[in-house]
Structure formats: C-alpha cells, structure tokens
Amino acid sequence: MAANPHQCPFRGDDYELAFTAPVVRRAAVAAAAQTSGTPVTRIGRVEAEPGLSLLDAQGQPVALRYASFDHFAGG
C-alpha cells in the first residue's frame, strides 16, 4: 500500500536523522553519505519565513490539516 503523501509529515514513529546543510556543501554531504554507506535524501530547504510549507510534485502548496500533535506549532 502506497503512503498518502498528505499524511507523511505526521505518520507513525519512524525515526531518521534530519539535518540542514548549505547548498554549496551538497557534494560533500553526498560524498560523506557514500563513504559511510548512509542513505541521504534531500526533502526540502530552510527559508527565512517562519512555519512549514508543503509542496506537491508540481510545486503547488498543499493545505496542511493536523489530526494529531502539531510538532511545528509555535507554542
């Protein structure tokens, strides 16, 4: 069964390391991942605007409705 992409930000208890790196270090991150045998997937980018934005495959905003605890809420 394929995962519903609208549920990905708040599904289950699967844990992976999330980190940020500057665009200019993308090749270094890829090299480190290959050397260590660690899969790395780019899933987004950090922007100056506060909040979380989710875009579909065509780059269009997806409305988020949290049905569980909102880890991204400000309070």
Stated pTM of the model? 0.54
Asked if residue 24 has pLDDT above 70, the reply is yes
Query: Which among 42, 50, 46 is positioned nearest to 74, based on CA atoms?
Result: 50
From residue 44, give the alpha-carbon distance in Å to each of 22, 35, 52, 67.
12, 23, 10, 22
What tens digit of pLDDT does each residue of 54-72 get?
888 898 988 876 666 667 7
In a domain, 74, yes or no: no
Asked if residue 3 has pLDDT above 60, the reply is no
Structural contact between residues 52 and 9, judged by C-beta atoms closer than 8 angstroms: yes
In a domain, 22, yes or no: yes
In a domain, 12, yes or no: no
In a domain, 36, yes or no: yes
- Tell me how long the chain is: 75
Split into its structural domains, the chain has a count of 1
Q: What is the extent of the structural domain holding 28?
A: 18-69
